[in-house]
Amino acid sequence: MIPELEKFVGFSAKNLPKDEPLASGHRACQGCGEVLALRMVMKALGRDVIVCNATGCMEIVTSPFPQTAWNVPWIHIAFENAASVASGVETARKVLARKGKISKKHVDIMAVGGDGATGDIGLQWISGAMERGHDFLYVCLDNEAYMNTGVQRSGCTPYGAMTTTSPPGSQSFGQVTWKKNVPAIMAAHGIKYVATASPAYYLDLMNKVKKAAMVKGPAYVHIYSPCPTGWGSAGERSIEIARLAVETKVFPLYEVIDGKYVMSRKITKPKPVTEYLKTQRRFRHLKEEHINYIQGRVDAEYEKLLKLSEM
Amino acid sequence: MAINDAIIGWKTLPFGGHVLEPGSTVKFKTGDWKSQHPVTDNSKCIKCGMCWIFCPEMAYQQTEEGFYVANLDYCKGCGICAHECPKNAITMIAEEGGKCQSA
Amino acid sequence: MSKRVGVEVSIAVADAVALARAEVISAYPITPQTHIVEHLSELVANGHLDAEFIPVESEHAAMSCACGSSAAGARTFTATSSQGLSLMSEILYHPGPMRLPIVMVVANRALAAPISIWNDHQDIMVQRDIGWIQTFAENGQEAVDLLLHAFRVAEDKRVALPFIVNIDGFTLSHVIEPIIMPDQEDVDRYIPAFKPHYRLDPRKPISMGPVGIPEVYTEEKMAHNEVLKASKRVILQGWKEFAEIFGRQYNPVEVYRTEDAETLLVTMGSISETAMTAVDEMRNAGKKVGLVRIRLWRPFPGPEFRKAIGKAKTLAVIDRCLPPGAVCGPVGAELRSLLYRVPGAPKIFSFVAGLGGRDVTVDRFKEIVDKADMYAKKRPVELYEVIGVREK
């Protein structure tokens, strides 16, 4: 057990904070699961936080000059470097507090980015920040492609998915690689807290974000974020799809606490992956062989995860 | 409109191009994006708050009686609330003439 | 009174950063910048400097950390060189418009390919338009003094802009020179505490770095450009105050034996010392030759430069940078633009010399002056000439 988490009191349905550190009027698409996840993250963190945002959908839709959706201090520099900017903010506050130039009251530092900013272009910057041990949390809002630039594939795009740079055709069936396991890469840094979360399980999500913020040193939360525009799904089904991803074992929910894998929700009676795949146009072209492969691999990956949690 | 607000001369731009007023997107009413809006049947509502927590627009607010009402100034009409309501108390109603009623 | 001591310039530069009481240093090692950051981490490790040293994983991260640190309100320093400066490039464009007064030393070095650790100005000329204040030091004392000046000016509320002090790699960074290290009390008097206009703080939440839509992008760029141009007043004031406290006066453009000179060498950085020797020898031989040295590169000191060249008929401009396919070196191009159609303006000849650690000797300067005088009579075929290059 991590000492910081010994006094952890989770959110419950009855004590959800009413405050909205992220304001209405942002420009996210209808039914955006990513901004909804971000809203939950911010509700969990409250207002004593500084947000370092990577370039991407959330940065664009929340900062249309001369307006901002942020009720907390927020900075955006570039695509790949949110973790470095957070390192700088955290370090500056440490030295300024030591010198009595700012209040010693603890303020959480969050870096937040999409799957491209996290698993692809920003991996080195995050790795550096985690290895150096800055006291911050990194939140990845994973909508499984470069949505802001028009749905191009990323390393986090799932196998078989159609994107504008992984189009199915006579020579291709869409994305040919399996989704990169970014949480495992983060866990490999030996940081104290890593978790996956889904907005369909909002209490679980908010509790994990709160834990990540409480932990001293780096922590990481990887959040599944449905994108109706990029996935070709109905806006009203964003939460349903997020739930299905968990129920089909496509996106398992777990924590890695001090190196120990803990399943947040064991799926004993999984739904077939087809239930999940058929909700989204990006999987519409897949043939039986691909679906069979996905089912087999999803089962195998889940087994691996269960084994890790039993170690 | 936000674009008109951005028509600022270089001499009067805020320092560093910062936005100094937090949460100022509330001035931008996204309600006119929608083609449908939610209507809650309070007789079916169990006040569970699913519509509120699952709203990407922070549009729902709780009344003194404990019911939830969507602020149509911000509701984009995605329909997550109606879809997730465990009692099917919310119905999405098409906007008339494609125009926003709240704008 | 401070003593003059023999010290490696990099060490003196790091000591100056400590005298300036930098609070956050984020840096990645690259030759020939290494001695600066090594000494700084030592000063932090020994408790001589109450600061945090962030040993980042790349120069891009160094500048990214610096942006975060400065935005949070800490006095922030970094140093780099060459490939590292290029890796930072994307982020170098942010602190200017965002008004983050980061101070950086660039130990100037050539750019690959072929890879070269030795000195020229190609690294910084690539970053000419990043919108930072930029000065070039000639010697070790100047490197120290310009660095203190950089902190004083960058953080001035009227400026709030990032600042680069260029020092030539090896030929300046690694030499031992007699340097007067200022007293801490004097430096404290010269550089007041950093009081940013805004900082990232939950008590007063602001958003830094929002989207610049077409309706406002031009105005944002204009505002940055205007504050950079206007910073010259504070730069000059900073040097005046420096002279009052430390007794050494600096100017945007320095002149050497320019009285009645007909031909002027124009240089930046440490080769100017050799150029002065060449001027002395040519003067002894009866040639009316002088030297103009540009210390302030951005914002470019146009009026000061025009005044410095007086009534000279010929300028021989030396660029330590070869921009392939361009009409001439960047300093040459700048000066041609500045003096174009100015009545009585001198003829300008552009020379490229001292690339990748190639020495520019006294004889080379003489050769440059001779060629400039010759071209003044008979127009050259090429718009610039590379000096000291072998053909076979």
Gap between the Cα atoms of B71 and C221, Å rounded: 38
Give the mean pLDDT of A181-203: 98
Residues of chain C with Cβ-Cβ distance to A98 below 8 Å are 50
Q: Cβ atoms within 10 A of the Cβ of C153, count?
A: 27
Tally of CA atoms within 13 A in the half-sphere of C72 that contains its CB: 32
Four-residue CA torsion sign, C162, C165, C168, C174: negative
What lies within 8 Å, CB to CB, of C212 at 6+ separation is A65, B17, C220
Closest CA of chain C from B2, distance in Å: 10
Q: At A124, list the tokens.
A: 């080195």
Neighbouring-strand partners of residue C176: C8
In B17-100, which ranges are E strands? 36-40, 60-62, 68-70, 90-94
Interface of A with C in 39-58 (CB under 8 A): 47-50, 52
Q: Which pLDDT score, from 0 to 100, does residue B3 have?
A: 65
Nearest to B83 among A24, A72, A237 (CB): A237
pTM of the predicted model as reported, rounded to 2 decimal places? 0.97
Mean pLDDT of A25-43: 98
Q: What is the pLDDT of residue A1?
A: 78
Q: Which helix (H) or strand (E) holds C67?
A: helix C59-71
Is residue A230 within 8 A of residue A236, CB to CB? The reply is no
DSSP string, C321-383: ---TTSSS-HHHHHHHHHHTT-TTPPEEEEEE--GGG----HHHHHHHHHHHHHHHHS--SSS
Q: Please give the backbone phi and psi of residue A165, each rounded to the nearest 5 degrees, phi first.
A: -115, 10
Mutual angle of helices A33-45 and A202-214, in 10-degree steps: 50
| pLDDT (0 to 100) of residue C326 | 93
Q: Tell me the pLDDT tens digit for each residue of C160-215.
A: 999 999 999 999 999 999 999 999 999 999 999 999 999 999 999 999 999 999 99
User: Could you give the C-alpha distances from C359 to C136, C223, C365, in angstroms and in order?
Assistant: 18, 41, 11
pLDDT at B2: 58
Mean predicted lDDT score pLDDT of chain A: 97
User: Is the CB of A124 less than 8 angstroms away from the CB of C58?
Assistant: yes
C-beta of residue C274 within 8 angstroms of C-beta of residue C362? yes
Note the pLDDT of residue B103. 40
Q: Which of B25, B56, B84 is the closest to A68 by Cβ? A: B25
| pLDDT above 80 (res A198) | yes
Q: Cβ of A232: how many Cβ atoms within 10 Å?
A: 15
Taking CA atoms, C320 is separated from A115, C323, C385, in Å, by 43, 10, 12
In this prediction, residues A87-110 reach a mean pLDDT of 97
Residues of chain C with pLDDT under 70: 1
Averaged over A211-226, what is the pLDDT?
Answer: 98
Helices (H), chain A: 33-45, 57-62, 82-98, 115, 123-132, 182-187, 202-214, 228-231, 238-247, 273-277, 288-310
Query: Cα–Cα–Cα angle for A259, A263, A268, nearest 5°?
Result: 150
Q: Is B69 helix (H, G, I), strand (E, B) or coil?
A: strand
Which of B27, B34, B54 minimises the CB distance to A25? B27
Asked if the C-beta of B26 comes within 8 angstroms of chain A's C-beta atoms, the answer is yes
pLDDT of B102 strictly over 60: no
Residue C280 confidence (pLDDT):
98
pLDDT value for B96? 82
- Given a contact cutoff of 8 angstroms between Cβ atoms, the answer to whether C265 and C279 are in contact is yes
Interchain CB distance below 8 Å, B16 and C197: yes
Q: Which tens digits make up the pLDDT trace of A239-270?
A: 999 999 999 999 999 999 999 999 999 999 99
